[in-house]
Chains A and B, each alone.
Chain A
Amino acid sequence: MPPLMTGAIVNAVALGILYGLLGLSLTIIYGAMRIANLAHGEMVLAGSYVAYVVTTQLGYSPLAAIPVAFTLLFLLAFALFAVAGRRLQTARDPEMASFLFFYGVSLMVGSGLLFLFDADARSVIFQFQPISYRVLGLVIPKARAVAVGVALVLVPALFLFLYRTTPGKALRAAVMNRDALRIVGVDVERLSLVAFSVSAGIAGVTGVLLALVFPAFTPFSGLDYTITGFVVIVLGGLGSPLGALLGGMLFAFSEQLTTLWIGQSAGVLAGFLILVLVVAIRPAGLIGQAEWKS
């Protein structure tokens, strides 16, 4: 295999798992609560800025930014949900209500970041030792390897939580049938509060990891992440954790390989083209069952 090709595939796997992580936190919220978190990208971006502050301004390792980003975003989401959660959940059309509400939140967080950090592009300036690894003739930056390594710990941990623990199963049950869960005595509102906060925390961590992969970000980068997140979960199937991971991989592979074969600008186009095709042929997504609809 030509080295460029191998490089593209390695990149795609790395990005795919990060996109999967991006979608994972989004899909849990959408599936379990019918909340379309349009501010997801800004929450991710806020995580990137935490990484910027911790590394570039304070001089610590990006790894130290992970718990900070998680805690900050967790608290922000907890406060947001405590204020508006109940209202959104009991709205006649929770999807539309949350869509508008979180559009407002996305503008708020975006302009908050603009106020704090100005409009210039920022980047994480931190040098790992060694800077890169050389594996089978491929140069792999250590920052990227670290990001993937953390994601490779986080994703299985999330799956273990969702598929092996009682709260995780309850959360998936909420995706399948909210009312049935309430009828057996589960406090779905508290479950939603915790799930939403944890999801935002994971979004923050994803932001730290993405900051290690994408060199620069501005306060306006949030929308890109939101769009990528939604594309990934629609591809995989709304409400399906496994689908989010699959969608992330598919999106990253199409992006990377098209960039290699055709060019940079065609990369993003290919991802959306696949999205349109998947939605046209399998509206429920790759492995979605659309069961959250009932």
Chain B
Amino acid sequence: MSLQISNLSKSYGRVRALNDVSLAVNPGEVLGIMGVNGAGKSTLLNCICGFATPDAGAIELGGRGICGQRPDHVSRAGVGRTFQVPRSFRSLTVLENLLVVPARGEPSGILFDRAHHALEKVKLATLANNYAGELSGGQQKLLELARILILEPQVVLFDEPLAGMHSDLCRVSLDEVAEMLSRSVAVMLVCHDPGIPYRLACRGPKRPGRHRGPSGRPALIGG
């Protein structure tokens, strides 16, 4: 499924966080969004996944409008997201963090197996019964990644996925993103380091601004 954003605008008071942003991410593509703090990167993600309602514009997921929908609806429509500061459930165990996901009509045993599998992938299986609050910052980011893996989303939005992460953990994370891309997941990546999307062979406008989604891979387009 592709994510299509057209003419999106959002203001907070007199601050124009998003100004007529148009871009698209297609299956198997990674789109890097870069910009200084306050450029509107997180606002863009918040508008997509329903935490903020844009003032104007449209957001389409596989041709279906999701603009202004509630976060849980957007999630179930197939959009996954991580946060810049990882948001885990600190007093639940690592495994339980994955099990609070609502059942999709499948027996709980399958969800359990999938959760274990996801934890193995991000190398957290040995910590399954530890509390999430006991994990390091980097491990919490991996936990968020595992949470996305079991949801099997079609579009994934990463907010600073590697910031403050040890290089070994970075590799685990990058491998998973690469594998998602190979499964035709559309990936949007907010980051400060142009090297990351570059390594994933990316394309991307430098900041959400007045430009149409250009293509070419990998390519860097200035704003």
Note whether A and B form a binding pair: yes
Please choose the segment from B17-25, B80-88, B116-124, B205-213 that sits at the chain A interface, where 4 or more of its residues have CB less than 8 A away: B80-88
Known: A169-B92, A172-B92, A179-B51. A184 touches B151 (CB 8 A): yes
Q: Would you call B96 an interface residue if the criterion is a C-beta within 8 Å of the partner chain's C-beta atoms?
A: yes
Q: Would you call B70 an interface residue if the criterion is a C-beta within 8 Å of the partner chain's C-beta atoms?
A: yes
CB atoms of B101 and A180 under 8 A apart? no
Q: Would you call A87 an interface residue if the criterion is a C-beta within 8 Å of the partner chain's C-beta atoms?
A: no
A291 to B, closest residue via Cβ: B90
Would you list which residues of chain B between 80 and 116 have a CB under 8 Å from chain A? 80-81, 83, 87-92, 96-97, 99-103, 108
Residues in B neighbouring A169, C-beta threshold 8 A: 92, 96, 99-100
CB atoms of B99 and A291 under 8 A apart? no
Known: A166-B99, A169-B99, A173-B100. A184 touches B90 (CB 8 A): no
Residues in A neighbouring B147, C-beta threshold 8 A: 184
State in angstroms the CA–CA spacing of A183 and B102 once bound together: 11
- Say which residue of B87, B91, B96, B99 sits within 8 Å of A180 (CB atoms): B87
CB distance from A228 to the nearest CB of B (A): 26
CB atoms of B92 and A179 under 8 A apart? no
Given contacts A166-B103, A179-B83, A185-B76, 17 further A-B contacts (CB under 8 A): A166-B99, A169-B92, A169-B100, A172-B89, A177-B87, A177-B88, A179-B71, A181-B89, A182-B50, A182-B75, A183-B71, A183-B80, A183-B87, A185-B72, A186-B100, A186-B102, A187-B72
Known: A183-B49, A184-B151, A186-B101. A176 touches B96 (CB 8 A): no
State in angstroms the CA–CA spacing of A184 and B153 once bound together: 10
Residues in A neighbouring B90, C-beta threshold 8 A: 176, 289, 291
State in angstroms the CA–CA spacing of A182 and B76 once bound together: 10
Question: Which interface residue of A173, A187, A188, A291 has the most chain B CB atoms within 10 A?
Answer: A173
State in angstroms the CA–CA spacing of A188 and B92 once bound together: 17
CB distance from B80 to the nearest CB of A (A): 8
CB distance from A142 to the nearest CB of B (A): 39
CB distance from A43 to the nearest CB of B (A): 27
CB atoms of A185 and B81 under 8 A apart? no
Question: Which interface residue of B81, B90, B100, B101 has the most chain A CB atoms within 10 A?
Answer: B100
CB atoms of A182 and B92 under 8 A apart? no
Residues in A neighbouring B96, C-beta threshold 8 A: 169
B46 to A, closest residue via Cβ: A179
Q: Would you call A113 an interface residue if the criterion is a C-beta within 8 Å of the partner chain's C-beta atoms?
A: no
Q: Is the interface of B mostly helix, strand, loop or mixed?
A: loop
- Listed A/B pairs (24) with beta-carbon separation below 8 Å: A166-B103, A169-B99, A170-B100, A172-B91, A173-B89, A173-B92, A173-B97, A177-B88, A177-B89, A179-B83, A180-B83, A180-B87, A181-B100, A182-B72, A183-B80, A183-B87, A184-B100, A184-B101, A184-B102, A185-B76, A185-B101, A186-B102, A187-B72, A189-B70
Would you list which residues of chain A between 258 and 294 have a CB under 8 Å from chain B? 289, 291
State in angstroms the CA–CA spacing of A22 and B72 once bound together: 31
State in angstroms the CA–CA spacing of A188 and B76 once bound together: 13
State in angstroms the CA–CA spacing of A97 and B148 once bound together: 34
- Say which residue of B70, B89, B91, B103 sits within 8 Å of A182 (CB atoms): B70
Residues in B neighbouring A177, C-beta threshold 8 A: 87-89
Known: A169-B100, A185-B101. A176 touches B72 (CB 8 A): no
What are the 10 tightest A-B residue pairs by CB atom distance, in nearest-first order?
Answer: A180-B87, A185-B75, A182-B71, A173-B89, A176-B89, A185-B76, A170-B100, A177-B87, A173-B100, A184-B101
CB distance from B134 to the nearest CB of A (A): 13
CB distance from A175 to the nearest CB of B (A): 8
A173 to B, closest residue via Cβ: B89
CB atoms of A188 and B88 under 8 A apart? no
- Cβ proximity bits A127-147 to B, threshold 8 Å, 1 near / 0 not: 000000000000000000000
- Say which residue of B51, B87, B99, B151 sits within 8 Å of A185 (CB atoms): B151
Residues in A neighbouring B97, C-beta threshold 8 A: 173
- Cβ proximity bits A177-203 to B, threshold 8 Å, 1 near / 0 not: 101111111111100000000000000
Residues in B neighbouring A183, C-beta threshold 8 A: 49, 71-72, 75, 80-81, 87
